[in-house]
Structure 1
Amino acid sequence: MRNLFAPWRKTYIQNAHKKDRDCFICVAANSSNDEENLIVKRGNFAIIILNRYPYNSGHIMICPKRHVKFPYDLNKDEQTEIMYFLGLAVKVLETVYHPEGFNIGVNIGRAAGAGEEHLHFHIVPRWGGDTNFMSVFGETRVIPEAIEETYKKLKEAFSKI
């Protein structure tokens, strides 16, 4: 069995439980500044947003605009658009980054690793050997691309679809 360690996320997870902040997904969904909020695609019921603390370049999240915690809280329109966005996102990430695979997942609740109580689906492009000694031993992540560059690439690719 192989393990994916992400010690750089420790600070984020330790601070995510603080109640004195607004839900960053709700803030982003209700804002008109997509670039500042890293939104690369908007729909009627969902958004596609870059993860500010990515495991890899191209790590995105698909989120309902409405604040819900569980998949069973989604209505059919939200479910349909989120599944459509999942397929669309994989296609765009394949075109832009040419990964060898993907991790797609949902963390529900703090104990499961959710940093926000707003349902969101992670899509992480993966390549063989993408976790190396720097992240495992040095507690330093090596992301080969600035988040602004990732945003620019993906915003352009999503705008063409």
Structure 2
Amino acid sequence: MGADRDCETEAESIRVEFADDHVGVPDPFRRLWTPYRMAYIGGENKPVDDHEGDGCPFCRAPGRSDEESLIVHRGRYCYVIMNLYPYSPGHLLVCPYRHVAGYVDATGEETREMAELSQSAIRVLTATSHPQGFNLGMNQGAAGGAGVAAHLHQHVVPRWVGDTNFLPITGGTRAVPQLLGDGRSLLAEAWGSNA
């Protein structure tokens, strides 16, 4: 069937034949469809430009109540907030208050506190959720995968064996449901005694 199509290269012909031969064939993956992420990927709640202020969700959050903005803890230079689009329950972000895009542009105080708050987040998540591992990381720039490239933030993602893959949510998932507000309350309460 693929050979009947006009293909410019042999590799393209092979890809077309493979696709034609495998349409409708089940694969070993289950899909966890997350259509709510498309609104975000399409621009909802993303900064409208590279400037701080109302266009940046990480600049807006500290001006609201902790409950409304889902802030778990406030430090001197940085704060910890629940991810609105979590990869797993308890997915936290550590953000500087100052609007800065690049890790190399953060001050020494900001980078030290980001590291300290990331360690505290791991301790609190371990005490409250008992994850079996963690992913920590920063995506720098839109091409590097940053959803909000204009404002630096570090991901602290609790992981369990058999849960989702860190970035592409594919099959083999195990749901551990928790509302963001409930998770924020649990973590904020535990922060003082476990951080």
CA distance in 2, matches of 1:154, 1:121: 17
Verify: 1:46 aligned to 2:75, yes or no: no
Taking the aligned partners of 2:47 and 2:76, their CA distance within structure 1 comes to 30
Secondary structure of 1:136 counterpart:
coil
Does the 8 Å CA contact 2:72/2:82 hold for their aligned counterparts?
A: yes
Superimposed CA distance per residue, residues 65-96 of structure 1 (whole angstroms, 9 cap, x where no aligned partner):
10001111111111111111111111111111
CA distance in structure 2 between the partners assigned to 1:19 and 1:143 by the alignment: 33
Percent identical pairs in the alignment equals: 41
Show CA shifts across 1:91-113 (max 9, x none): 11111110010011111111222
> For the structure 1 residues 27 and 6, does the alpha-carbon distance in structure 2 shift closer, same or farther, using more than 3 Å as the test?
farther
> Would the alpha carbon gap of residues 78 and 147 (structure 1) be closer, same or farther in structure 2, given more than 3 Å must change?
same
Q: Which runs of 5+ in 2 are unaligned?
A: 1-28
Q: Which moved more, 1:95-104 or 1:5-14?
A: 5-14
Provide closer, same or farther for how the CA distance between residues 107 and 7 of structure 1 changes in structure 2, counting only shifts above 3 A. Answer: farther
CA contact (8 A) 1:96 1:154 kept: yes
Q: Which moved more, 1:140-149 or 1:56-65?
A: 140-149
- Displacement of 1:19: 1.8
Are the structure 2 counterparts of residues 7 and 22 from structure 1 closer, same or farther at C-alpha, using a change threshold of 3 Å? farther
Residue 11 of structure 1 aligns to which amino acid in structure 2? A
SS in structure 1 at match of 2:93: strand
Match of 2:186 in 1: 153
State the 1:136 CA deviation: 3.4
Q: Distance in 2 between matches of 1:7 and 1:15?
A: 19
Asked if residue 136 in structure 1 is aligned to residue 194 in structure 2, the reply is no
Q: 2:48 touches 2:56 (CA, 8 Å); kept in 1?
A: no
Equivalent residue letter for 2:128: V
Distance 1:18 1:32 in 2: 17
Question: In the TM superposition, what are the counterparts of 1:1-161 in structure 2 within 5 Å?
Answer: 8=34, 9-15=37-43, 19=48, 22-29=55-62, 31-116=63-148, 117-131=150-164, 136=170, 142-160=175-193, 161=195
Tell me how many residue pairs correspond in the alignment. Answer: 153
TM-score by length of 2: 0.70
Maintained 8 Å contact 1:63/1:119: yes
Q: Which has the larger radius of gyration?
A: 2
